[in-house]
Structure 1
Amino acid sequence: MSIKETTASVDPVLPVLYEDNHLLAVVKPPGVLSQADDTGEPDMVTLLKQDLKVRYNKPGNVYVGLVHRLDRPVGGAMLFAKTSKAASRLSESVRSRAFDKTYVAVVHGNPPQTTGRLKHFLRKDSSRNIVSVHSKQVNESKEAILDYAVVANRQSHSLVAVRLLTGRPHQIRAQMADVGCPLVFDRKYGAPASDGERDIALWSAAIGVAHPVTKDWLAFHSLPPQTEPWKQWSDEELRRALTILPEHEHA
């Protein structure tokens, strides 16, 4: 497994984890959209297109393909394609579950087990931008599966590593809340009120995928910033969250 460290920067808030002619891995800041919507607010695809155009002095259009999404309040490692062929192959990796996505979260309380798998069916209410959790298939619901492991406990909070086996909107937020452990600062899914507006305690910590051309396995890591609630955990604990779950099986 090759580990890619942060080496360059698109701008002060978009560190580049890895880049070649086919793909680009960066750190998405919390609060930035993954792709453009009706609000016209900044989004990752547009920001990266602008950056590539400037950095490489490209006169025409720049291609940036969205491979996967992060919820707007979530920050961390995110992967984009730089060619349509790479986008197609990386998207197939996502569909076939050969795309490894590991998150770190701080939740209220203690999950039901130290390690476990959560299986639910999620139904999205687009008008309210919220999903409901169901134990059985219901109309317009989609299966949601994740594995988790508790890294450490601190008072009433737990540091949890999560690996997504499916990629549903608000999946981690909704499923953890359903087992009585809402994410810290995630008011939408039942977290207690806090002073001021805070980013929810969820971070995209690692991505693993086969390179779309060379087929070499690549891994990109990003640790959350030393702000609340992350700063109550040591660097050792945060790094342990990257490795506590069994390694993703890949060719």
Structure 2
Amino acid sequence: MKVRLDKIVAERFQLSRRAAREAVERGQVDVGGVRRVDPAEEVGPDDELSFHPNRPRADLAERRLTVLYEDRDVLVIDKPPGLLVQPTELRERDTLLERAGRYQIHKRGVKKPYVGIVHRIDQLTSGVILLVTSPRALRPFQELFRTHTIERDYLAVVEGVFITPEGRIDIPLVDDAGDNRRGVSREPGVGIPATTHFRVIESYGTVASLVAVRLETGRTHQIRIHLAALEHTVVGDPVYGRRGRPKFPIRFHRQALHAASLGFIHPLSGQPIRVEAPVPKDFTTLTDQLKHDYGVVKVADQG
């Protein structure tokens, strides 16, 4: 069961709840080696925590946006892993929504910023996400995602190796697969249509593979559910992962999923736009360790 970060920090490091909350907000607490600044973030009881009481307060610059593309109507952002897109019922203060509003105030001089969310990526997923910054852009961009006329490419490190170097997963999804989790439909005609394309980039012994994934549809948790249905769970997935499976040999503090790029025709300007997010350090550290421990086979070398 997951608990608030400030609560578990207070328990583990013998701090008052207030002191624990302030330590997190000052950037003195790491989860899995990554600094966290939101006291309301939920973590698991087995997550690796470290407390650095002498660390200087986290600069607000660390909470700024990494903007990959912008115009008067949109912001395309490289979201770090661990950052929520918008607050939950716990009313978290540091979210992508809040950062985007603050960015418009300080960088654009907008007194009353507008931020519209047209799609989401999970809190523990890194990479490209698009926000609209004018009301006129909301419906046109919502339509892009609704009609799937936007290219959404991901990278994932998954367990095991594939028999085929590429393929298409075309399995409907349901909100409850019988275990109180979203999952694939087991009955004909039941579920929401969902299609995912994958291509293996490289494999690491028989332990794991790096795959490129393209969404044809964009359902909640689609990539994670589809890959798990093929017995290739995303490494570190806390929901669709390791129940009843042997422990993965390398500990990874989040799901190894990165939103690598977005490509679309701008519905207001008509210009073709393609934006890419660099692979984050924790992701490359994982693949480097897999290469070191198990060797690497490029897909072009297979066969």
Per the normalisation by structure 2, the TM-score is 0.68
Aligned counterpart, 1:88: 139
1:165 matched to 2:216: yes
> What residue ranges of structure 1 are gaps of 5+ in the alignment?
1-9, 235-239, 242-251
Q: In 2, distance between residues paired with 1:32 and 1:129?
A: 25
Greater share of strand residues, 1 or 2? Answer: 1
Deviation at 1:190, TM superposition (A): 2.3
Cα deviation, 1:48-83, whole Å, max 9, x if unaligned, reads 112211222333x21111121101111101111111
Counterpart among 100, 108, 117 of residue 66 in structure 1: 117
Report Cα offsets for 1:108-156 as digits up to 9, x if no partner: 1123421100011111249x873121254565x2111110000011121
Aligned equivalents of 2:149, 2:210: Cα separation in 1:
25
Query: Does the 8 Å contact 2:126/2:280 carry over to 1?
Result: no
Aligned mates of 1:130, 1:188 — CA distance in 2: 8
User: How far is 1:197 from its partner?
Assistant: 6.5
Structure 1 equivalent of residue 199 of structure 2: 149
State the SS of the aligned residue for 2:140: helix
For residue 199 of structure 1, what is the aligned residue in structure 2? 254
- Paired residue secondary structure (2:145): helix
Distance 1:11 1:218 in 2: 27
Q: Is the 8 A contact 1:22 1:212 kept in 2?
A: no
RMSD between aligned residues:
2.7
Partner SS, residue 152 of structure 1: strand
The letter of the residue matching 1:108 is E
Does residue 76 of the first structure (1) align with residue 133 of the second (2)?
no
Indicate the residue corresponding to 2:263 in structure 1: 208
The Cα of 1:90 is off from its aligned counterpart by 1.0
More helix by share: 2
Find the residue that maps to 2:253 and give its secondary structure. coil
The 8 Å contact of residues 121 and 136 in structure 1, kept in 2 or not, is answered as no
How big is the shift at 1:179? 0.5
* Identity level (%): 30
1:123 is matched with: 174
Q: For residue 265 of structure 2, what is the amino acid of its counterpart?
A: A
Distance 1:44 1:142 in 2: 28
Identify the structure with bigger relative contact order (alpha carbons < 8 Å, sequence gap 6+). 1
- 2:235: which partner in 1? 184
Count of aligned pairs: 225
Q: CA deviation at 1:170?
A: 1.0
Question: Residue 108 in 1 paired to residue 159 in 2?
Answer: yes
Unaligned runs of 5+ in 2: 1-59, 292-297
Alignment of 1:34-53 (within 5 A): 34-41=85-92, 42-53=94-105
Change (3 A) 1:233 1:222: farther
Amino acid at match of 1:204: A
202-211 or 40-49, which deviates more: 40-49
Query: Contact 1:112/1:179 (CA < 8 Å) preserved in 2?
Result: no
Whole-Å Cα distance in 1 between the matches of residues 80 and 188 of structure 2? 34
Secondary structure of 1:187's partner?
coil
Measured in 2, the distance between the counterparts of 1:129 and 1:206 equals: 31
